[in-house]
Chain A
């Protein structure tokens, strides 16, 4: 049994695609066939330079050119109007003569018959007929068991009013062929693995992501954990998260304890560990609203602005090599101010797009200085503000989205009309070349409309992109904020929003986007809402049955800390401040020059800003880092520093257990457990004499230095969990 949702056409008759139409239209019937058999793919004749002498437009985006290539090039030998079977087109495709691409279909196939009919009737191209709608069915389906298949269909409506079942000519491309295979000559999709899968359906320029899913485990009778969720009691976020966990039969882990929650909130919102005294007060605070109060307090603090400006600096790839240290500093300081005052994020974006003046003084100007030219700016503006990878559309229309080359070069044309030195100002008359036409590209708002004239189009682009009705800006921002707090975007990767990369929780993303807009594009209410959800507050320990969950927030994702955060936590825990290069900064979160020389930040894995860092790398724990922790100064020097926390504790705390406990609070933000205490006691009793005394102060120092080292290099310390 399959539960289907979305799409309307369950009553579609799927048998008429075997018929051969009397008239075959080139644009809407031949071109899809070429796509279906891979002829115009990027790897074959759709490559920019074609292949084997035949060049077709990628996925048939330019039928006029394709028709010319097939009927006129090569003295017209590709089609033989007197004897269709002698056409190169058919002989190559059936490999009855040598074909680098091998056999695409055989002479008995429907594709052959269609092409033969088209050639027999003159291999004409009328032009003009377009596809107006394609309904793919189903859009989303939940199956009970791996190994089950589902029937699919695609029904197209054309501009002349005719309708056609195009299932057979639709490309059903599985993201992961080992998980979903296309079977029975395009009529069925079979799902082989549990979990969620995506198949991209393509007919002409219409693409759609089909979602297929199998729950993570079989339904167990009388299992209360998968019963209907108590949605009334849940907040907006948990309503959708829990709903999906139930549908996929993934159990949720329990709540994180107070210590884990506080550590997490501090790390996420302040970029540092909770100070021990505040953490201890929080732990014993009986106020049931204490989590909420903590979040509010952290959001109001300067650290939030410092830390989140750093996150955005990584996303924006603010680089002092490009902007000079003065420009980078102005930019980041400005971001700190915007975040501190919770300026609506669409206004922040608008300012970055429309600013003029000296980048050393005016922060947002530096956005326009940062990408190295109009094309780079077109790419970074769409990436940052829309979460879109427009880059593909530089050389060809985007294969998995609706972006066309004129969108790319049209947006670049907007940014071309700028003087982009230290001072940014409008510079009418400058142009970029549209590589298709070879003429100056027309300014264009991507996917929307051309802008007339030579006037600076930035404001118009800014108005469009930051409008509440814009389909991208708010979603992309919400998705990024979510990813920062939850470890993974609802759309992942966060800079690849497109119709064919569906969100893990579409309704949740829609709802959060509406909330974000309703709160006037302000970031803090959104952060607050996420941090107060059950999903945010869950333990990072997997429960049986959710160990493999990566996408559904059944347990908290464990993430490495950013280099700058780690530098601060090491300094705080050891009580020995860090210095960076020749600057007098001791707080790495406030460093605005990413090129500042610092072995510590390099070893800890700072973003090099050559490219944007949307999140710290998941594989931050390299062997080079391990070697540095073992033999380098970063930690070792701080263990013996006479002004450091350990030296002070060794002097002031005669009780070994209390000393060990203090080190736990400083590093793991929790008390030492009894079992841990017993272990350490057993360890030091091996060294102490029978009366429980250290034979020398040096022995004690070394023991606790090694214990502290073990805490500071543990993954528990090095991660946010």
Chain B
């Protein structure tokens, strides 16, 4: 299938491509150019990769990034705000490490949508499209992977472009794109002592030569059988799950990116010896090794009851709930990326599918609330230390500058060098814009 980027590129883009080539930049940059970088802007795109911390279930904006200390107790909730290293920005007292690096983080506090059901809302946040009965849209990382897979086969990276650490939200699928753009899922808990990514090591006796032969034989069987397998593969040639697996297996360097044992204990402790912490560390290793998009999924944010305990202590008498773990892992990740000089080229997003009801319910929890919620972005060229938009006094609705999930997703695309106007095609040849309904949040780019 021809990918119509050459047709769509405007003159300015061509100049841009020329510039990159002249500077002798690598494949990653070329990928940016192919993906339609800068057709909306002249500003340079610095993000080469992206880490999404997906707080599954819907994190409470009122207890994380948008506290309302002036509101009545049943809205204010159990936590107090603390100041951050940016004057005037306050966040939850349970996020002290994050507060100390607020200058790296941009908060959007005026996110708003109308979808209050988990799947619908997740689909909207992860694809930028409201769910439709006509078409399933691809998750953002699948689009990134698809665009990357359009490069010539010889230049494709050994590491998968789209990796999910712990099983991701079901809406993070490939949609109308080929199944091979789905995330490579690292199942299991990276904080367990016996954790390792399964099946990376070839068996004794299976030499590189035999791997190549197997790859060839498999393709030959396919070709002679003559099935086009349309419903399965959506008729795309190219970068199948097997191709990706072969490349990964044949690169010891890429495989080692999955090996957390190579990290010193001090680093592992810094991220926290819990699932989220070690997942974030794994994400950093993968980004460092060249993966474009890593999704870390943290479950359990659907706090319909007993919110205080679950967010602060985990359970009654526990030592760490959802927020302290997030604080530790997130802050360690941003610090570590910065120390390695990777933060400017890595966009880190913290979000979930919606916020929580301003009013605490009778079970001490908060229910689904898409009317207003918050998202945090850092790195990847984002100007930190700023708050975009406000919610009203009770965190019910945006008080100004409403930002829709489509706007957010378009902004993320822009930050990683993808033009939201570019058209992709469904398997039956229907053109679909990467992002249709969004407007870029200008403060962030």
Contacts and interface: CB of A to CB of B under 8 A. Distances in A.
Interface of A: 42-44, 47, 51-52, 100, 175-176, 178-179, 193, 487, 540-542, 547-548, 550, 557-560, 618-619, 621-632, 636, 668, 673, 675-676, 679, 702, 706-707, 709-711, 713-716, 719, 721
B366 interface: no
Contacts of B116: 47
B207 to A, nearest CB: 9
Given A558-B227, A624-B198, A673-B224, A706 B184 contact: no
B234 to A, nearest CB: 10
B203 interface: yes
A619 B173 contact: yes
A606 to B, nearest CB: 14
Given A632-B199, A713-B242, A540 B174 contact: no
B403 to A, nearest CB: 15
B182 interface: yes
B133 A176 contact: yes
A631 B229 contact: no
Contacts, number: 152
A721 B198 contact: no
A716 B222 contact: yes
A176 B135 contact: yes
Given A193-B430, A719-B227, 10 more contacts: A175-B133, A541-B226, A619-B182, A621-B241, A626-B242, A630-B214, A710-B214, A715-B233, A716-B225, A721-B227
Q: Which of A548, A559, A668, A719 has the most CB of B within 10 A?
A: A548
B245 A626 contact: yes
B221 A623 contact: no
A547 B230 contact: yes
Contacts of A721: 227, 229
A709 B218 contact: yes
B253 interface: no
A636 B203 CA distance: 8
Q: Sorted from nearest, which 5 A-B pairs have the closest CB atoms? A: A176-B134, A710-B217, A43-B114, A626-B245, A619-B179
Nearest to A198: B133
Nearest to B367: A49
Contacts of B220: 676, 679, 710
B88 to A, nearest CB: 27
B211 A630 contact: yes
A673 B226 CA distance: 12
B269 interface: no
A393 to B, nearest CB: 14
B113 to A, nearest CB: 9
A707 B242 CA distance: 16
Nearest to A668: B225
Interface size class of B (residues with CB under 8 A): 35 or more
Contacts of A631: 199-203, 206, 249
Contacts of B428: 548, 550
A487 B231 contact: yes
B231 A706 contact: no
A542 B228 contact: yes
A670 B184 CA distance: 34
B442 to A, nearest CB: 22
A548 B426 CA distance: 10
Given A193-B430, A628-B198, A631-B199, A711 B221 contact: yes
B80 interface: no
A721 B233 CA distance: 14
Q: Which of A625, A629, A715, A721 has the most CB of B within 10 A?
A: A715
A663 to B, nearest CB: 10
Contacts of B216: 710
22 contacts: A176-B135, A541-B226, A541-B227, A550-B428, A618-B179, A619-B174, A619-B182, A623-B160, A624-B184, A627-B248, A627-B249, A630-B202, A630-B214, A631-B203, A632-B198, A675-B224, A676-B224, A679-B224, A702-B210, A706-B210, A710-B219, A715-B229
Contact of A179 (B134, B222, B233, B249): B134
B71 interface: no
Given A43-B114, A673-B224, A176 B132 contact: yes
B429 interface: yes
Contact of B228 (A541, A559, A636, A676): A541
A43 B216 CA distance: 53
A676 B199 CA distance: 31
A558 B160 contact: no
A709 B185 contact: no
Interface in B308-353: none
B185 A622 contact: yes
A636 B201 CA distance: 13
A719 B232 contact: yes
B150 interface: no
A178 B228 contact: no
A165 B232 CA distance: 47
B144 to A, nearest CB: 16
Nearest to B163: A623
Interface in B230-271: 230-233, 235, 240-242, 244-246, 248-249
Q: Which of A178, A627, A707 has the most CB of B within 10 A?
A: A627
A466 B242 CA distance: 47
Nearest to A488: B231
B427 interface: yes
B232 A627 contact: no
B218 A710 contact: yes
B74 interface: no
Contacts of B246: 630
B397 interface: yes
Given A548-B428, A627-B200, A713 B218 contact: yes
Contacts of B248: 627
A711 B214 CA distance: 10
B400 interface: no
B231 A557 contact: yes
Nearest to B221: A714
A710 B210 CA distance: 11
Contacts of B427: 548
Contacts of B231: 487, 550, 557-559, 618
A558 B217 contact: no
A193 B426 CA distance: 14
A292 to B, nearest CB: 26
A255 to B, nearest CB: 16
Given A714-B221, A716-B222, A627 B228 contact: no
A504 to B, nearest CB: 14
B12 interface: no
Contacts of B210: 702, 706
B176 to A, nearest CB: 12
A654 B11 CA distance: 65
B443 interface: no
B160 A542 contact: no
Given A624-B187, A679-B224, A548 B429 contact: yes
Contacts of A621: 179, 232, 241
Nearest to A634: B199
Nearest to A174: B134
A627 B160 CA distance: 12
A675 B225 CA distance: 11
A286 B397 CA distance: 74
B397 A100 contact: yes
Interface in B170-217: 173-174, 179-180, 182, 184-185, 187, 198-203, 205-206, 210-211, 213-214, 216-217
Contacts of A632: 198-199
Contact of A626 (B206, B230, B241): B241
Contacts of A558: 227, 229-232
Nearest to A698: B205
A624 B214 contact: no
Contacts of A557: 231
A623 B245 contact: yes
Nearest to B245: A626
A702 B209 CA distance: 11
A716 B226 CA distance: 9
A264 B187 CA distance: 33
